[in-house]
Amino acid sequence: MVAILTTPIATTILDEIEARMASITISNGYNTDVKKITRGQMEPFKGYDLPAINIWPSNLTASPMAYDQEKRTLPVFIEIHDLTRDEPFSTVAEKLASDVVIAINRATTAGTVSDVVSADLGEMVEEVVFRGYDYEIGQGQKPFCGALVRFEVVHIADKNSLT
């Protein structure tokens, strides 16, 4: 018997989010051009990588539903960083957070800020809920700042299945 390998739905969701973050470019109407996108990296970038994004999933929870299905919630944290340049760090952080919120709600095939909203990751999930953001500031040879943007991704899955 041949084993059938499948990709866990959480990985598929994170792949779609990562693809949507790749649309953050000035030519698409965003405030910045993202140079690097990583997932779950402890040290995701150096100064020359900025602006950069690091995507973190958190603890998935499941609630039973009828018909052997579960409602699942996957918290996702997206940190985005850039150099402060000549603007106050809070202004830069707000622009970066805005870029992330807009990009997560645009399809990879229609990733400009003026495109139609696609808030369910292309019908992959029930909803993506924006939960706010925090300012981040750091120091080094040049000060950088950013935002930690929080979402909850809600989807329905078959009970006891991760695909």
pLDDT of 115-148, one tens digit each? 999 999 989 999 999 999 999 887 655 677 899 9
Q: Which domains does the chain have, with CATH numbers?
A: 9-158 (3.30.70.1700)
Give me the residue label for tokens 């003026």.
Answer: 114
CB–CB of 82/92 below 8 Å? Answer: yes
CA distance 115 to 14: 21
Residues in a beta bridge with 147: 80, 135
Band of pLDDT at residue 7, cut at 50, 70 and 90: confident
Q: Which of the 8 DSSP states describes residue 27?
A: G
